[in-house]
Structure 1
Amino acid sequence: MKLHKIKDNSQQKKDSFSDIGTLTGKIADKTLEQLEREGVFVFPEIVKDAEDITRDQMIIQSVNDSYRSGNVMGFLGCGDERLIIESRFGGEEDDFFFQYLLDRVMDFPNIVDLESDANQDSRLFNFLLFLFPYYLKTAMRKGLFKKYIRHSYNDGNVKGAIDIARHIEKNTPFTGNVAYSQREFSYDNSLMELVRHTIEFIKRKPYGRNLLVKVKDEVKLVIDATPGYEPYDRQKIIEENKKNTVRHAYFREYLALQRLCLLILRHQKHQIGSGSRQIYGILFDGAWLWEEYVNSLIEDVFYHPMNKGGKGAQRLFACNIGLIYPDFISRDNKVRIIADAKYKPLDNIGNRDYLQVLAYMFRFDAKAGYYLYPEAEGSDDMKLWMNRGSTYEANVSPRDDISITKHGLKIPVDSTDYAGFVTKMKTHEQEFKQVFTTR
């Protein structure tokens, strides 16, 4: 197996990718949206009207004689070639920061070291299993999935279309029953059966029950809603779901869950990535993980609109024009603060970022803006005062009432084990939050 490792937000010479040339040729300069259509599992799922960069973000982008990586972390493969994308704060052996983000945001089991399993395909499969509780909980917020299915009956209470052939077969000589079928709105349908098969499959894993205990209420609802479940029906249920994917926009969360269940269950019959020309893998949007992690730290001080969930949408103008989703809007409406989570190095926060936050500040009458980013150096905050005046009149000077501050959260890079990393992170988190809690 040919394995190559890179860091997010980094740049490497194209020559260094020569040993995984086939895989590189299939992913270079392609967006997450394109790779998702080709079978790569992207978390969180792509949302068409999302304002963020997710849809157009590239895994590796050509820059002269080099490839530049973005905010994506995860695992990709093609044939016997593998690419691991770690966080830029990871060490030579361990990537504690990526593990910590997954643990805080998604309650992942503490076993996600990409190097700890010699079989990278098994590691990828475990990632898919760990995602299941999150996707199940998200989908079930819409309630149990119902759809019309056709049931066949043979009794004297005729309510649907009579099945002549089946009637002759079963009711000759005539005994008073009639064979008929009827379309009924039911919870016990092919999609809920697929979810049930996935639950039963995960239960048989050594860590399966511990994984499902986080969604025990949702699991009970699925089990109660699928009395027709039969273990030997798995392949038939898989084929039905492959042919009949969820189409209604309201149930897009169930579409993501359906796709994940199919990946998990089909792994048993067809190994993930079987075939030398197929791309496979799982990718995590680091920007989304960072934003949700920051929210877990400051949610008691800030509102958190979410474009991927369509929650907390704001408008720049009257008549519902100018849809925006600021990352964070302070709950204090007397001294309003706008904050933007940026999973990128300090030096990469530039002009477009400034314009975006200043527009949000203007919209919400905020005098202070913040960029919240991860850093390894432990640098002091950088406070930028907005200018007034014009170079044409030679009267440019800094204002003393409007500012944007680059506020970093220090990420430990010298920890020897995960427990030590967590301890240091807790200390740095308190320092990070203190800016907002002492105002």
Structure 2
Amino acid sequence: MKLLRIKDNSQQKKDVFSQVAKLTGKIADKTLEQLEREGVFVFPETVKDAEDITQDQMILQSVNDTYRSGNVMGFLGYGDERLVIESRFCGEGEDYFFQYLLDKVLDFPNIVDLDSDANQDNRLFNFLLFLFPYYLKSAMRKGLFKKYIRHRYNDGYVKGTIDVARHIEKNTPFVGNIAYSQREFSYDNSLMELVRHTIEFIKRKPYGNKLLIKVKDEVKLVIDATSEYEPCDRQKIIEQNKKNTVRHAYFREYLALQRLCLLILQHQKHQIGAGARQIYGILFDGAWLWEEYVNSLIEDVFYHPMNKGGKGAQRLFDGNVGLIYPDFISRNSEMRIIADAKYKPIDNIGNRDYLQVLAYMFRFDAKAGYYLYPEVEDSDDLKLWLNRGLTYEKNVMARDDISVTKHGLKIPVDALNYNEFSARIKTCEQEFKSALIF
């Protein structure tokens, strides 16, 4: 197997990708939306609602004689070629930072490892399994999925369409029953049966029960709703769901869950990448993971409007005009602070980033703005004071009351194991938070 490792937000000569040339040819200059259609699983699935990751973002973008990677981390495969995109904070060994983000944000089991060359396909499969509780909980917030099902009956209480052929077959000689069918709104449908089959599949894994205990209430609801579940029906249920995908926009969370369940149940080592969808893998939005991780650190002192969930929407202008979602707004109204989570390196924070935060600061009467980003070096904060005056009048000078600060969380890159990394980053988290509490 041919394997290449690269890091996010990095630039590499095209020659480096020669060992995975076929895979590179399949993914270079293709958007996330295109890769999703070809079988790659992208998390979070609602890329169209994210600000830092968009449908037209590319995994590998050609820049002269180099390829440039973005905020995406994960794993891709094609034939016998594998590409692992690690976080840029991965040291010589394992990618502890990526693992830590998954653990803190998605509560992944602490066995995620992108290091073993021989078991990349198993790593991919584990990722899919570990995401199941998140997607199940997200979908079930809309309630159990319900749709019309045509049930066939043969009794004396006719309520639907009489099935003449079946009636003759079943009721000759006539004994008082009528064969008929009726469309009924039911929770026990092909999609909920698919979810039930996935639950039963995961239960048989060594860590299955530990994984499902996080969503035990949702699992119970699914089991109670699928009274017609039969283990031998799995392939039939899979085929029904492949032909009838969820289409209604309101149930898009169920569409994502349906797709995940199909990937899990159809996974076979010897079939990975077979057929029309030859590119496969799973990609994580590093910017989204970083923002949710930062929120877990500072949620007690900052509001966190969520554009994906439509929560905490703010408006720039009167009349419900100018929808905005600042990443973080301090709860302290006396000394209001606007903070923006940025996964990219400090040197890449500029231009549009400055304009966005300054607009938010003006809207919320904030004198201080912060960019919260991960960093390797033990560097001090960079504070930028807003200018006043014009170059035409030769009176430009720094104000002393309005500033934006680039404030980094230091990420250990030389930890010997995951436990050491966790202990060291917790110390860094305390230092990071202390600068944001006023």
Classify the TM-score, shorter chain.
over 0.9
Q: Quick check: 2:47–2:53 contact (8 Å CA) kept in 1?
A: no
Q: Is the 8 A contact 1:314 1:325 kept in 2?
A: yes
Residue 346 of structure 1 corresponds to 346
Amino acid at match of 1:126: N
The answer to whether the Cα contact below 8 Å between 1:36 and 1:42 also exists between their aligned partners in 2 is yes
- Corresponding position: 1:174 with 2:174: yes
1:225 is the counterpart of 2:229 = no
Are 1:335 and 1:366, in contact at CA under 8 Å, matched by a contact in 2? yes
CA offsets 1:249-307 (integer angstroms, 9 cap, x no match): 11111000000000000114972212597110000000000000000000111111112
Aligned pair in 2 of structure 1 residues 56, 222: CA closer, same or farther (>3 Å)? same
The answer to whether structure 1 residue 257 and structure 2 residue 253 are counterparts is no
Q: Give the C-alpha shift of residue 350 in structure 1.
A: 1.0
Contact 1:148 1:183 in 2 (8 A): yes
Pairwise mapping of residues 6-405 of structure 1 onto structure 2 (< 5 A)? 6-116=6-116, 118-268=118-268, 271-274=271-274, 278-405=278-405
Amino acid at match of 2:139: A
Deviation at 1:32, TM superposition (A): 1.3
Counterparts of 1:404-423 in structure 2, within 5 Å, are 404-423=404-423
Worse overlay, 330-339 or 49-58: 49-58
Kept in 1: contact 2:53–2:285 (CA 8 A): no
CA distance in 1 between counterparts of 2:55 and 2:110 reads: 29
Q: Which amino acid aligns with 1:133?
A: P
Cα deviation, residue 236, structure 1: 0.6
Contact 1:389 1:395 in 2 (8 A): yes
Q: Deviations over 1:78-127 (max 9, x none)?
A: 11110000001101221100000000000001111112362211111111
TM normalised by structure 1 equals 0.97
TM-score w.r.t. length of structure 2: 0.97
Unpaired segments ≥5 residues, structure 1:
none
Amino acid corresponding to residue 5 of structure 1 in structure 2: R
- Give the Cα–Cα distance (whole angstroms) in 1 for the partners of residues 5 and 179 of structure 2: 62
Q: CA separation of 1:43/1:277 partners in 2, compared to 1, >3 Å: closer, same or farther?
A: closer
Contact 1:90 1:96 in 2 (8 A): yes
- The aligned amino acid for 2:176 is G
Residues in 2 aligned to 1:72 and 1:432: alpha-carbon distance in whole angstroms: 24
**2 CA distance for matches of 1:50 and 1:97?**
22
CA distance in 2, matches of 1:6, 1:273: 22
- Measured after TM superposition, the shift of residue 368 of structure 1 is 0.8
Query: What corresponds to 2:2 in structure 1?
Result: 2
| Partner amino acid, structure 1, of 2:3 | L
State the secondary structure of the residue aligned to 1:55: coil
CA-CA distance at 1:320 after TM superposition: 2.9
SS of equivalent to 1:56: coil
| Number of residue-to-residue matches in the alignment | 438
RMSD: 1.4
Q: Secondary structure at the match of 2:415?
A: coil
- By how many angstroms is 1:318 displaced? 2.9
Is the CA contact 2:3–2:117 (under 8 Å) kept in the aligned structure 1? no
Deviation per residue, 1:13-33 (Å, 9 max, x gap):
000101111111111111212
Letter of the 2:223 partner, please give it: I
Q: What secondary structure is seen at the aligned counterpart in 2 of 1:145?
A: coil
CA contact (8 A) 1:80 1:276 kept: no
Q: String of CA shifts for 1:324-355, please: whole Å, max 9, x gaps.
A: 21111111223211100000111111111101
Work out the CA distance in 1 between the residues paired with 2:156 and 2:270. 45
Following the alignment from structure 2 to structure 1, what is the Cα–Cα distance between the partners of residues 52 and 117?
A: 34
> Greater CA deviation, 54-63 or 170-179?
54-63
* 1:48-78 Cα deviation digits (max 9, x unpaired): 3444333222111111111111110000011
Alignment-mate amino acid for residue 93 of structure 2: E
Shift of the 51–96 alpha-carbon distance from structure 1 to 2, 3 Å rule, reads: closer
Q: Which moved more, 1:242-251 or 1:45-54?
A: 45-54
Where does structure 2 lack aligned partners over 5 or more consecutive residues?
A: none
CA-CA distance at 1:362 after TM superposition: 1.2
**Aligned-partner Cα distance in 2 for 1:275–1:240:** 19
Distance verdict in 2 for CA 1:25–1:415, change over 3 Å: same
Q: Distance between the aligned counterparts of 2:43 and 2:100, measured in 1?
A: 16
Distance in 1 (CA, whole Å) between partners of 2:117 and 2:188 is 38
The answer to whether the 8 A contact 1:373-1:406 is kept is: yes
